[in-house]
Amino acid sequence: MASPGSLADRSYALHSDIAQFCLPAANRDENRKLAYVNSICLLFLAIGAAGLNPSKLEQKVPEPVQEFVPVEIAQPPEPPKVEPQLQPEEPQPQPDTPVETPQIATVVAADPTQVKFAVPVEGPVVFAPAKFAQAPPPAPPKPAARTVVRMTGAEGGTHPEPRYPPAALEQRQEGTVTVIMTVNPDGSVESIELKKSSGHGILDRHVTQWVKTRFRFLPIDTGEKRYFEKDFVFQIK
């Protein structure tokens, strides 16, 4: 009689996973203990084999440290300086210098009738024709004197008085500007010369620009330029 829970026929094997889980006695392996023993024996054999051939330890001997010893190089003493002895200079023989005959230069002068003063010269004097004498350079022409007319208001044309510059008015700047105007024959103002400044750049520039763009004179037929002088007074009332 078999014990309860054991299988009578050992050749019978369970193929169902559920049956193997429910009947653990059916999956019991009789050689399981032998497998454990064999594994332990193989482990000891491996440890013994590894212990027979231990790894060799190489010992390296450190190289001795080289000590550097400072070496002093002794310089040889400098030889004493020998001052050169001055030898007396021997007088060099001077060669006989030939006496040179003085050369007398020939002086070329203009026509004696054109010479107004005497020239002390040595040697012969040769008079050159008057046509070779150079005439003095002509004197530069003198600039034509200009006639500046002071404006009175009867010259004719358009001459509006300049307005007071706002910037100068805010800064309380006052003064008198005197200019000289160069007028072309057609009546336009060519240039303006500042004869007297007011002491303020704002007033001077304002008068120059105003006259250049606003003043107009009567044209003339002679083709000459005219010059007019005028004062511009700026005073805060």
Task: Using alpha carbons, list the distances in angstroms from residue 14 to 17, 18, 25, 121, 185.
Answer: 8, 9, 11, 163, 141
**Residue 108 and residue 128 in contact, taking contact as beta carbons nearer than 8 Å:** yes
Tell which residue, 182, 176, 183, has the closest CA to residue 162.
176
Domain boundaries, the chain: 14-48, 148-234
Output helix, strand, coil percentages for the chain, rounded to the nearest 5.
20, 15, 60
pLDDT in tens, the chain (237 residues): 445 544 445 555 656 666 665 655 555 556 666 777 778 888 888 877 766 566 666 777 777 777 766 767 777 777 777 776 676 666 666 656 555 665 555 555 555 565 555 556 565 655 555 555 566 778 777 666 788 999 988 888 999 999 999 999 999 999 999 999 999 999 999 999 999 999 999 999 999 999 999 999 999 998 899 999 999 999 988
* Three-state secondary-structure class, residue 39: helix
Contact 208, 179 (CB under 8 A): yes
Tokens of 87: 């030898």
DSSP 207: H
- Reading the block at residue 208, the tokens are 């120059």
The answer to whether the beta carbons of residues 107 and 119 sit under 8 Å apart is: yes
Angle at CA of residue 145, ends 143 and 146, nearest 5°: 125
CB-based contact 234:176 (threshold 8 Å): yes
* Radius of gyration, CA atoms only, the chain: 67
Q: Which class would CATH give 148-234?
A: alpha beta
Specify whether the CB–CB gap between 182 and 163 falls below 8 A.
no
| Torsion, Cα of 195, 201, 207, 213 (10° steps) | 110
Q: What is the pLDDT of residue 209?
A: 94
Closest CA to 200 of 231, 229, 169, 230: 169
Q: Is 0.85 surpassed by the pTM of this model?
A: no
Q: Are strands 107-109 and 125-127 parallel, antiparallel or unpaired?
A: parallel
